[in-house]
Structure 1
Amino acid sequence: MTITTGAPPARRTPVALARGFLTGGVIGSSLAALVVGGIVESVPLFVTGPGIPAAYALLLFLAGRPRRLREAAVVPRTALAMIESLHAVGGESSDVPVRFDLTVAPDDAPAYRVEITQHINLVELPDYRPHGILVVQYPPDRPWRVSIVKRPAPEWADRVAGARLDPVPGPAMVSDPAEGCASGFLAFLGLLLGAAVVILLFWADLFGEHAVEQPSSSKPSVSSTSSTTVVTSASGTVALGPDQSFLDDGELRRGVDALTKGKDTDARQALTVVVQERLLSVVFAPTGTRASRFDPQSLPYARIPVLVEEATSTLGVDTPQTWQLTADGLTGSLTIRVTVTGPEGTAALEADGAGKVARRTPAR
């Protein structure tokens, strides 16, 4: 989201920086718990993996409740706005997410430019055209959080009928409050420390007697071209080079094929698949386990880039810093979750095994 230079300046608070560090630690420890739990065949550790982000999300929700109550008590300001441009950014339901570039003209302050995304019903979409006049509302202390009033009060409807607004010159726009390099560095540091803590706690299980007793057929096979692949009987990882992404066409399918190559249908059954920008991790189901499992080759590959795009652009995280996709069958059927973190908080999107969105949790 962007606003003009007349808006309040962005500030990095210690609380926001600490939250970025903790978020990185949660992601690192969760991923490490899933992988290490699968390798050492520890069910409690493996279950702790998805439990860590769930507990963290609940903690953030409870900690942010007083702030949400304060914000809800603030009376929003109402103003006229002109549509500079608009375009739909996706959606498969009757409500389509539309990105608006608006000129907002408050009665008691200079006009400014803002970019927002709001869901508009398909039936009402023709009512929104470039240079059309709207009524909007926004919190007094956060003028970039603009929302369109679809059914304004009669007095504002009369003002819209006779209003004419001049556009604010562009493209003098600045980003909505961002945390910058410091927050990104702290989040990355937290990720490394979170993963390191889990690995150190189970160092003996990973590299002690357990590693010595590994049969020769389970020794990792490593290949390195534009990516690095490590496969054991319990898990597998693929790390891509700096100019690659698992959202590239066919890249995720090739990564899964590399990890399941040579395995029969039963041996390649997975407990969980975790995908990040350049890291793919698969924890295979141990032989004889009764835990819910699935074939990673059954993932809806064509839908995954769409799910990540929707999660990073429509759930209120306007400056996404990290995203992670987790697929598992813990509920009895394949479930795909995309978690996005940024300065605005953490958002999540949940889909079924066919890639159809079932639930959205916007950033708070």
Structure 2
Amino acid sequence: MKLCWTLKITKTTHPKEKPQDESKLGFGKQFSDHMFLMDYTAGEGWHDARIVPYGPWEMDPATTVFHYAQEIFEGMKAYRTADGKIQLFRPDCNANRFNDSADRLGMPPSRRRTSCRLSRHWSMWTATGCPTPTARPCDIRPFCIATDVGLGVHAAKHYRFAVICAPSGAYYAEGLDPVRIYVEDEYIRAAPGLTGFTKCGGNYAASIKAGELAEERGFSQVLWLDGVEKKYVEEVGSMNIMFKIDGEIYTAPCVGTVLPGVTRRSIIELLKGWGYKVHEERVAIADIMKAADEGKLEEVFGTGTAAVVSPVKELDWEGKVAHISGGHIGELTQKLYDTLTGIQWGKLPDTKGWIVPVE
């Protein structure tokens, strides 16, 4: 199937100066020279696909996204390998999840695998922001917003789809050092029937207050419990989370309140291939803490596009503290990180068909 629209490319006449020290990029602070834009009109569909110089665009104060939050986004990365090639990691999964988010928010879907089909053009604008080989990845942020002008709660008739790129460093200041996690039991992130499984801005906005309170207490992130009983572990603010208990892996199921992470999915496939038993089921925080008391909680790690794998050294719940792996990264956590990043960077063979080259 071919794209039904033509792509107009306008190159910047003022390319940005490349950073001298890519180790100090930070996360999401700098952006590449170009961005992709495309508009939607009800009855006409998607139109005016274009790559243009990165920069602001003007919007009316009554644009509906400001008032009713019809907005979704995705997170993925481009990697420049040692031989100078650029490759993506499972973009089809991101495209499918993007459309699932669009459906829940009452927004029009984009073409599935559009990201892959556009890849031949990305070499022009993604490469301008993709750091030197094996240094840092380039974060790719597709997003879509409602652009109707006027007040009233209903699905918009106009939307803008955009993709921006940010050559970035580590998401957490700690890098791969184990982090401290605060278990939140007052606020909730999601509840059945709401938007917990989507990547919409409202989910993240609702998490900010609890995250700030946790940071004030010296924690890196919040572990959310279920929104009904506030009993079962679900996910961390920016990651899914997994627990290695007595040699087996436990993680919350994706049944509407947990984001179906692409990294989560990939980690589970790796674990099962290595012979681990993986339980995708509800696990009570009380049972997690009990396992820690009994010496059975061997490793805890978050999984997500931004951090890939993030080891956890401490869980704090109701004044009780679970210390994990002696404060060090666990053996399995390190193996998962090395394997997944090895595939992403082209250092290890891709035997699962996860890599899509940018041509």
Scaled to the shorter chain, the TM-score interval is: under 0.3
- Give the TM-score, by structure 1 length: 0.23
Larger relative contact order (C-alpha < 8 A, sep ≥ 6)?
Answer: 2
Larger Rg over CA atoms: 1
What TM-score comes out, normalization by structure 2 length?
Answer: 0.23
